[in-house]
Amino acid sequence: MQHLKGKVAVITGGNSGIGKATARLFTEEGAQVIITGRRQDVVERAAQDIGPSAIGFVGDTADLEDHCRLAETVKSRFGGLDIYMANAGVINLTSSAEVTPEDYDRHFAINTRGVFFGVQTMAPLIRDGGNIIVTSSLAATKILPDHTVYAGSKAATAAFAKNWAIEFKSRRIRVNILSPGPVETEILAKLGVSEAERPAFEDHMASLIPAGRLGRPEELARAALFLASDAGSFVNGIELHVDGGMTLV
């Protein structure tokens, strides 16, 4: 049984990591998926890799005009959508003393402002009974070294989502938060972890997680599928931690 048969989904940041894994699973479950990303070559390769039910859209979530272009594309091609996953994000681990205004603004432009105005722009196109998934982070609720600005940007989106769950209740649009812990994705390289350092880094992170390992993108995708499908039809306004129990320690 395909749990998303006939549905249309938009996944921002769907060209890699959790977003790409979710896009792949959604298409396998019958959905037509539009993935977004900033680099055309990466977006095109990801869409081709996912399969014929995936369409790539090049845009920056920090650019409000790109949200409008995306909405126009969705409306013209599909008339509307059923699932909007605000997943695109950026992270740069820096102590508060070393955060620059540019670094601060970049985090909040992409992680926070982009999520808010993405939902504002796409909400009129979401069909009644549809749903929104906001990708937050374990860091929004657990104190981690050098995560202050990133954590703040993600905590804000979780607050947005809980308010939207009430705002959209007349349209029966469910809004939930997916909060990953450490996951094996390309983001490790962006954190400055080299290939040589990666085994030691992963071993250290695994020692902090009750599950004893990092998560896999496919595991986050399955959680997103639960929230997006009828399996989660009575789930609304929650923050689902998919972190191997790391919030507990």
Closest Cα to residue 180, out of 87, 112, 104?
87
DSSP type of residue 98: G
Report the share of the chain in percent with pLDDT over 90: 89
Give a yes or no: residue 190 inside a domain: no
- Give the model's pLDDT for residue 195: 76
Please check the confidence at residue 157 and state whether its pLDDT lies above 70: yes
Residue 135, H or E segment:
strand 126-135
> Mean pLDDT, to the nearest integer, of 149-169?
98
Output the CA torsion sign for 41, 42, 43, 46.
Answer: positive
* Whole-number Å distance between alpha carbons of 83 and 232: 13
Share in percent of the chain as helix, strand, coil (round to 5): 50, 20, 35
Closest Cα to residue 205, out of 226, 187, 184?
184
* Whole-number Å distance between alpha carbons of 167 and 86: 17
pLDDT per residue as tens digits for the range 176-228: 999 999 998 776 666 666 778 778 878 888 898 999 999 999 999 999 999 99
Please check the confidence at residue 233 and state whether its pLDDT lies above 70: yes
Tell me, what CATH number does 114's domain have? 3.40.50.720
Task: Indicate yes or no: pTM above 0.85.
Answer: yes
pLDDT per residue as tens digits for the range 35-51: 999 999 999 999 999 99
Give a yes or no: residue 154 inside a domain: yes
Give a yes or no: residue 12 inside a domain: yes
- In the residue annotation, 150 being an active-site residue is answered as yes
- Give the model's pLDDT for residue 192: 61
How many other CB atoms are there within 10 angstroms of residue 172's CB atom? 13
Reading the block at residue 204, the tokens are 């250290």
Q: Which residues pair with 36 in a beta bridge?
A: 57
- Give the model's pLDDT for residue 43: 98
Catalytic hit among 57, 84, 108, 150: 150
Q: How many domains does the chain have?
A: 1
Domain span at residue 56?
A: 8-180+215-241
Q: Which residue has the higher pLDDT, 117 or 189?
A: 117
* Whole-number Å distance between alpha carbons of 130 and 81: 8
pLDDT per residue as tens digits for the range 57-81: 999 999 999 999 999 999 999 999 9
- Give the model's pLDDT for residue 242: 97
- Give the model's pLDDT for residue 190: 60
DSSP type of residue 61: T
- Give the model's pLDDT for residue 1: 82
* Whole-number Å distance between alpha carbons of 161 and 167: 10
Give a yes or no: residue 149 inside a domain: yes
Q: Which residues pair with 120 in a beta bridge?
A: none
Give a yes or no: residue 58 inside a domain: yes
Q: Which residues pair with 54 in a beta bridge?
A: 33
Give a yes or no: residue 2 inside a domain: no
Give the mean pLDDT of the chain. Answer: 95
Reading the block at residue 195, the tokens are 């290939």
Give a yes or no: residue 199 inside a domain: no
Give a yes or no: residue 249 inside a domain: no
* Whole-number Å distance between alpha carbons of 56 and 96: 36
